[in-house]
Structure 1
Amino acid sequence: MKRAKIMEQLPNDLILEIFSRLPAKSVARFRTLSKQWAALLRSPDFAKLFLTSSSSRPRLLLGAERNGEWLFFSSLQPHNRYEKSSHLDYHTKFSGDVSRNNCSYASGLIYFPNMWFSKDASPVICNPVTGMYESLPDLMRYRKARGFLVIDPIDNKQKQFKVLSEAYPFSDQREHHKILTFGTGELSWRSDIISCPAYDRSLSEGIRINGFLYYLAQKVSEESSCVIVCFDVRSEEFKFIDADCFNDRLDDTTELVLVNYKGKLGGINWKCGQAGERRTIELCMWVLEDVEKHEWVDYVYTLPENEVLDSCDFSIAGVTVRDEVVLCMKYTCKPFYVFYFNPERNTLQSVEIQGFGANLEAFENRGRVYAFVNHAEDLGVNDAEQLKSSISKVKHLCGCCNRVAQPNYHY
């Protein structure tokens, strides 16, 4: 009672500041304690303050995929170069033979083009932290088609999620793309107003920068030539950006990762070299300096020597808000490392990530790791009324006996 009276005597601004530093799950619990706190913690001002606070301490979201199941964890990204380890927080497990290919992340939500909860598959948007999800209408598309989750900021207080899905981009006789707007009531795919120049197929995951979605695509009938597809999220218009710089330097453009580097579109690829008996790692980075003139500037960095990185399989996860390139080990193991490379200082920081659990860390059970940088909790996403279903209530279909079974959440 004394604590409650003390809280009642505190000014609302101070109460909001205190709660803005808590995890979203804790905020949800405190909303149930009183009508006053519920009103304060559901206000637009608090949602904005919470997102600002969460963005100031971005996290690394890790999805470990094994046999069609995903387990989601997160840890704080390092705030200084002296941090050597970080512990994972476990969030949720999505099972039911989740498609491992082409998932798309945006503002705390993940889009899976295919997820089997029973005998039927459907596209799904889910919150990997809370376990809430919504199934979308089924969509006819070719097997390797990608889907991209994007954000359309309507104004300072409201934003919409859109899903851009390839249907048959290689054929002039069929519809190229379909779009679904999430959060407007009825969910339906549309394609009547979408016009995109012809290309053969997409080659990369997308990156969202200042209201535009960018992804790499292969030109029609030109296997060794590619372009950047630029999609304006608000106007829903497409255009191509020249990407011959990649064709000139890369044998395999499918290994290129598009990133947001200081607010500009960038592309990063890596290759191995040899210095005596030691393997060296070289990062090649291109930055689009002028969008209208299609002018790219390229940089080449040889990473500082690191015994673990020089001997493991890794992938490029992206670039942090501190302009550090993140390299992540591809498979769960013990020890498991994430590496942060600062191009301007030419420094490489190794951070040991702990907490996958003995099962995932065992070699025979290791999972493929997918990393999403700069993850911040957004109450506007966590509270989204569109995410009406909980993964904990789903009955999953066993792939061995084809019978319904409750999922096992122990990891």
Structure 2
Amino acid sequence: MISRRQKILEDRQAIVGRLNAGENSLTIPDDLISEIFLRLPVKCIARCRCLSKLWASIINRQDFTDRYLKISSTRPRLLFVFHESRKVFFFSAPQNQEDDNSSPTTSSYHMSFPVDYVEGICSPISGLVCVNNKQILKGRRTPVIVSTICNPSTGQSFTLPRMKTRKKKPDARSFFGYDPVEKQYKVLSMTFADDATEHQVLTLQTGKLSWRMIECGVPHHPGSNSNSVCINGVLYYKTLYGEHIIASFDVRSEKFSFIKVKGPFIHALYPTTVLINFNGKLASISPSGYYLFSKESTSLEMWVLDDIEKEEWSKHIYKLPPTWGKVVGDAILPCSKVTASNEIVLSEYRLRSPFYVFFYSLERGTIRRVEIQGMEAFTHSKVYPFVDHVEDVKRMKGV
């Protein structure tokens, strides 16, 4: 008769023997591994991808990356991009805070890549960022304007092919858009010189990337401070033209149209105003009577495009709370963006220590300030802040 103790010892020795022989009797199902990975932060996902071929195959599956992106959209982050020592750096920090007097939050470093000069940065779309920059390409002595696509979550980046142009020493601007129907990312770029503009489009896809020339019946080009916003597959940006207009570009059909801005809504085109997505509508925000927000500001004005075809706008005024001046202090603030939860986000042009981000709730009429730590080494660098950034663990093909 074998005792219970002896049975346990024999079972233990058998298990150890199988493990030493390379056998694993405790295999974890792939679906369970996938569920565990969905709960890990993006940096852990990167490590897991490198530790095991099986794990990498699970993480690289389309169904996994789609689910991870969907979960990430429920926990949006602030993305900070800045240029220092001929490199572009990417940091992010949690966006949502529960109370009005939020404690400091620590930013996370993601990646960097070399550039000579940053021309502009497009708002992130589903985790991807388009950086317009100057680089000295192979075989050239002087820098040229190029666009670099990067995914801060995976640390990948690649530079798009240089555009071919008939212009001599042209200037160039590029915008980043997404077609939710065909699920395609596209870059719209304009080269202009001597009041003439060429428009080109590149689709991000597998295989060789190339620019296609497209026609535009209205000669125009974006202003130097023009930002862009992509809403439901339509890209909007402010233009320099004889009339006050906003250009709209349908990412799927690759067709242009133009929105005239008249009367009191001309403020929507001021250089310091920012085009935003307000509940699915194109809108613009600025402080009442000023170009930038400060402790002297008492209210803000929002212009919302209610009907695109009729070019009808509405004006909304929001009174800032009595605590505004005390919370803002000596900061001079441009409007960054508005979050999906209708909070206007403001931060200064340059990093300083301490560095604060301000959140004004349009629904509650409250103002809160959050200190962002972890970027003190880059104090005085120009910072580009973005809201509602999501982490996408999908690797870019062909990089």
When structure 1 is superposed on structure 2, of 120-129 and 86-95 the one drifting more is 120-129
Following superposition of structure 1 onto structure 2, how do residues 232-381 of structure 1 map, counting pairs within 5 Å?
Answer: 232-245=250-263, 248-249=266-267, 253-271=270-288, 279-304=296-321, 305-357=324-376, 359-361=377-379, 366-380=380-394
Q: Are 2:161 and 1:137 aligned?
A: yes
Residues of 2 paired with 1:300 and 1:370: CA distance? Answer: 26
Q: Is the 8 A contact 2:188 2:201 kept in 1?
A: yes
Residues of 1 paired with 2:72 and 2:222: CA distance? Answer: 36
Name the structure 1 match of 2:19.
none
Give the direction of change, closer, same or farther, for the CA distance of 1:255–1:286 in structure 2 (3 Å limit). same
Name the structure 2 match of 1:393.
none
1:70-123 Cα offsets, whole Å, 9 max, x none, are 322110102423433211111223333132x22223322332333325644351
Residues of 2 paired with 1:54 and 1:284: CA distance? Answer: 31
Residues of 2 paired with 1:61 and 1:129: CA distance? Answer: 11
Q: Is the 8 A contact 2:153 2:393 kept in 1?
A: no
Name the structure 2 match of 1:391.
none
Q: Is the 8 A contact 2:153 2:392 kept in 1?
A: no
Letter in 2 for 1:165: S
Residues of 1 paired with 2:154 and 2:61: CA distance? Answer: 20
Give the direction of change, closer, same or farther, for the CA distance of 1:112–1:36 in structure 2 (3 Å limit). closer
Residues of 2 paired with 1:154 and 1:189: CA distance? Answer: 21
How many Å apart are 1:8 and its aligned residue? 3.5
Q: How many residues align?
A: 362
Aligned alpha-carbon RMSD (Å): 2.8
Letter in 2 for 1:27: I
Letter in 1 for 2:254: E
TM-score w.r.t. the length of structure 2 is: 0.81
Q: Are 2:230 and 1:208 aligned?
A: yes
Name the structure 2 match of 1:177.
199
Residues of 2 paired with 1:69 and 1:281: CA distance? Answer: 38
Letter in 2 for 1:47: T
- The alignment partner of 1:105 has SS state of coil
The counterpart of 1:112, out of the listed 116, 128, 131, is 131
1:38-67 Cα offsets, whole Å, 9 max, x none, are 332222211111001111100100012346
Give the direction of change, closer, same or farther, for the CA distance of 1:376–1:7 in structure 2 (3 Å limit). farther
Residues of 2 paired with 1:212 and 1:293: CA distance? Answer: 17
Q: Are 2:180 and 1:153 aligned?
A: yes
- The alignment partner of 1:168 has SS state of strand
- The alignment partner of 2:33 has SS state of helix
Q: Is the 8 A contact 1:62 1:370 kept in 2?
A: yes
Q: Is the 8 A contact 1:169 1:176 kept in 2?
A: no
Task: Report sequence identity in percent.
Answer: 36
1:114-151 Cα offsets, whole Å, 9 max, x none, are 33256443512223444422222223467653210112
Which segments of 5 or more consecutive residues in structure 2 lack a partner in the other structure?
1-14, 17-22
Letter in 2 for 1:385: K
Give the direction of change, closer, same or farther, for the CA distance of 1:90–1:320 in structure 2 (3 Å limit). same
Q: Are 2:188 and 1:164 aligned?
A: yes
Q: Is the 8 A contact 1:336 1:354 kept in 2?
A: yes
Give the direction of change, closer, same or farther, for the CA distance of 1:352–1:87 in structure 2 (3 Å limit). same
When structure 1 is superposed on structure 2, of 209-218 and 197-206 the one drifting more is 197-206
- The alignment partner of 1:31 has SS state of helix
Larger radius of gyration: 2
TM-score w.r.t. the length of structure 1 is: 0.79
When structure 1 is superposed on structure 2, of 368-377 and 290-299 the one drifting more is 290-299
Q: Is the 8 A contact 2:286 2:300 kept in 1?
A: yes
- The alignment partner of 1:102 has SS state of strand
Following superposition of structure 1 onto structure 2, how do residues 222-241 of structure 1 map, counting pairs within 5 Å?
Answer: 225-241=243-259
Letter in 1 for 2:319: T
- The alignment partner of 1:40 has SS state of helix
How many Å apart are 1:347 and its aligned residue? 0.6
How many Å apart are 1:204 and its aligned residue? 1.5
How many Å apart are 1:371 and its aligned residue? 0.4
Letter in 1 for 2:64: F
Following superposition of structure 1 onto structure 2, how do residues 47-62 of structure 1 map, counting pairs within 5 Å?
Answer: 47-62=65-80
Which segments of 5 or more consecutive residues in structure 1 lack a partner in the other structure?
389-411
Following superposition of structure 1 onto structure 2, how do residues 14-33 of structure 1 map, counting pairs within 5 Å?
Answer: 14-33=32-51
Residues of 1 paired with 2:313 and 2:194: CA distance? Answer: 27
How many Å apart are 1:232 and its aligned residue? 0.4
- The alignment partner of 2:219 has SS state of coil
The counterpart of 2:95, out of the listed 70, 77, 81, is 77
